[in-house]
Structure 1
Amino acid sequence: MTQQNTRLGIGLMVLTTFIFALQDGLSRHLAEHYSVFMVVMIRYWFFAAFVMTIASRKAGGLRAAAATSQPIIQSFRGFLLAAEICVMVTGFVYLGLVESHAVFATYPLLVAALSGPVLGEAVGWRRWMAIGVGFIGVLIILEPGFGVFSPYALIPLAAALMFALYGLLTRYVARRDSSATSFFWTGVTGAIAMTAVGIWHWEPMASKDWIWMITLCLTGAAGHFTLIKCYEVAEASSVQPFAYLQLAFASTLGIFVFGEKIRPNVAVGVAIILSAGLFTLWRAHVKSKQA
């Protein structure tokens, strides 16, 4: 991989995180006025159409993209991601973008912790120490024992756990399936699952909100497109640390658009989580180089 490609990959990752942060802001706005299930369902309809369009233009078409020897795991991945998105958007409504993303930033630590039981990978003591430190950061954010603990604070933590498991299952199916196949199953099975649930929560949407809904769908497709291109031109280990910028972009939206504030304990907790997360990414990079 050339230095030029790595720089391009980093640029694409930064752009991807910015697009996804916009998507989160739009999701929060719409979910405050309409059912989360309906919003996510419409978003998935567009996503599935996007996935199928890409698949139809590749060699073998839809049949080749859908071909897998792991249909149960692939389906579960799709259902899991759809459920995670619903949980996270609910967190945006109850907690806001700042605190939801602050807690969600633990997902790389959860990936490291679960990579042993799910993938059979060895997790050394250094990464276990980083995981422990990261969850100290979570406790600082949640403030258990200080005043009245809000159960809503556990919503983004549940989303982070679900997303971590989704990521690990994606790595698991990648042993036998191509990324194009996994992408296809993610979009199609997610759309099926959300339609089965969301259609019962349909409600009329104002004309102005349809504009926001269409924008949400477009940002979703654009974000996945730039992410795909990012991984095509650069190694994941080189660009993954920059994925944390979504926290910064989403927090900026939360503060300036939705009037949220960053409490001191949240700032301290985020700093600890980010430091621990970046360390685990660095250790994973070191281990891959040694292997």
Structure 2
Amino acid sequence: MQTANTRLGIGLMIATTFVFAVQDGLSRHLAGNYNVWMIVMIRYWFFAAFVIAVARGRTGSIRRAAATVQPILQAFRGLLLAGEICIMVLGFVALGLVESHAIFACYPLLVAALSGPVLGEGVGWRRWVAIGVGFVGVLVILQPGITVFAPAAVLPLAAACMFALYGLLTRYVARADTTATSFFWTGVSGAVAMTLVGVWFWEPMTAPDWGWMAALCVTGVTGHWLLIRCYEVAEASAVQPFAYLQLVFASVIGLTVFGEALQTHVAIGAAIVVAAGVFTLIRARRSQPVVG
């Protein structure tokens, strides 16, 4: 991979994280006024349309895009991601963008810890130390046993676990299916599941909020398009550390738009988690194919 492409990939990843942070802010606003199930359902309708268009363009037909030898696993991935999004949006409303993203930032550590049992990959002692340090950072954020700890903190933590498992299963199904096929199943199965649930919770929206809903759908499609382009021009291992900028952008939105407070223990804990996560990503890149 040429340096120019890597730089472009980094720029695209930064743009992706900014767009996704804006999407999170829109989700927080809408879910604060309407039920989460309907908001995510509408968001998934647009996402599924985008996914179908991309998959069809890359494979030539919808049937070819949907062809897989592991449909149950692919469908489960889609359900897992849809559930993770719902839980994370609930976390935005209950806990705020700053603390939710600070806790959710531990998901790369969960990926590293679960890569052994799920994918059969080895994890060296250095990465295990980093994983341990990262979870110390999570404890610093949560402050268990102190009044700051709220039951709502379980929401982004559960979302991080689900997203980590989703990421690992994505790598697992990639052994037999193409990226276009996995992308197709992610959008379509998630849209079907959210429609079956969300249609029962439909409620009228005001005209201005329909505008925000349209913006949410556009940012969702734009973010995924940028992410696809990012991985097309640069290696994932080279750009992945910059994904942590979503924590920064989302925190800025939480602080400036929603008037959230950045508490010292959250900032310190998030810094520990991010540092540990970046280290695990660097070690994973350097150790391929040797165990780090």
TM-score by length of 2: 0.98
Pairing 1:81-100 to 2, within 5 Å after superposition: 81-100=81-100
Match of 1:36, as an amino acid? V
Post-superposition offset of 1:54: 1.7
Kindly provide the CA deviation profile for residues 81-132 of structure 1, in whole angstroms up to 9, marking residues without a partner as x.
0000000000000000000000000000000000001000001111111111
Work out the CA distance in 1 between the residues paired with 2:107 and 2:148: 26
Work out whether 1:281 is the aligned partner of 2:291.
Answer: no
| Structure-1 residue corresponding to 2:219 | 219
5+ long unaligned stretches in structure 1? none
Partner of 2:199: 199
Q: How far apart are residue 60 of structure 1 and its match?
A: 2.7
> Counterpart amino acid of 1:221?
V
Deviations 1:146-198 (A, max 9, x none): 23631111110000000000000000000011110000000000000000110
The verdict on how the C-alpha distance between 1:7 and 1:21 changes in structure 2, with shifts beyond 3 A counting, is: same
Equivalences for 1:33-112 in 2 at 5 Å? Answer: 33-112=33-112
Question: In the alignment, is residue 139 of structure 1 matched against residue 139 of structure 2?
Answer: yes
On the 8 A contact 2:40/2:85 being kept in 1, the answer is yes
CA distance in 2, matches of 1:123, 1:290: 10
TM-superposed CA distance for 1:61, in Å, is 1.3
2:186 is matched with 186
TM-score by length of 1: 0.98
Mapped to 2, the partners of 1:3 and 1:91 lie a distance apart of 38
Contact persistence 2:113–2:131 (CA under 8 A)? yes
> Which amino acid counterpart does residue 3 of structure 2 have in structure 1?
Q
Aligned to 1:258: 258
- More displaced stretch, 143-152 vs 263-272: 143-152
Number of equivalenced pairs: 291
Q: Could you tell me how far apart the structure 1 residues matched to 2:47 and 2:152 are?
A: 28
Aligned AA (1:217): C
Q: Is residue 2:44 matched to residue 1:30?
A: no
Question: For residue 281 of structure 1, what is the amino acid of its counterpart?
Answer: L
When residues 144 and 184 of structure 1 are mapped into structure 2, their CA distance, relative to the original with a 3 A threshold, is same
Query: Unaligned regions of 5+ residues in structure 2, if any?
Result: none
Matched residues in 1 for 2:57 and 2:9: separation? 24
Q: Alpha-carbon deviation of 1:253?
A: 0.2
Equivalent AA in structure 2 for residue 235 of structure 1: E
Task: Determine the C-alpha separation between the residues in 2 that align with 1:82 and 1:257.
Answer: 26
- Quickly say closer, same or farther: Cα 1:84–1:59, change in 2 above 3 A: closer
Judging changes above 3 Å, is the alpha-carbon distance between structure 1 residues 59 and 78 closer, same or farther for their aligned structure 2 residues? closer
Q: What is the aligned-residue identity percentage?
A: 69
Cα distance, 1:57 vs structure 2: 2.3
Residue type matched to 1:107 in 2?
Answer: Y
Amino acid at match of 1:65: A
Give the 4+ runs in structure 1 shifted more than 6 A: none
Q: C-alpha displacement at 1:290, in angstroms?
A: 4.4
Contact 2:59 2:180 in 1 (8 A): no
Q: Which amino acid aligns with 2:178?
A: S
Q: In structure 1, how many angstroms separate the alpha carbons of the residues matched to 2:246 and 2:210?
A: 25
- Contact 2:111–2:165 (Cα < 8 Å) also in 1: yes
Residue 115 of structure 1 corresponds to which residue in structure 2? 115
Contact 2:38 2:201 in 1 (8 A): yes
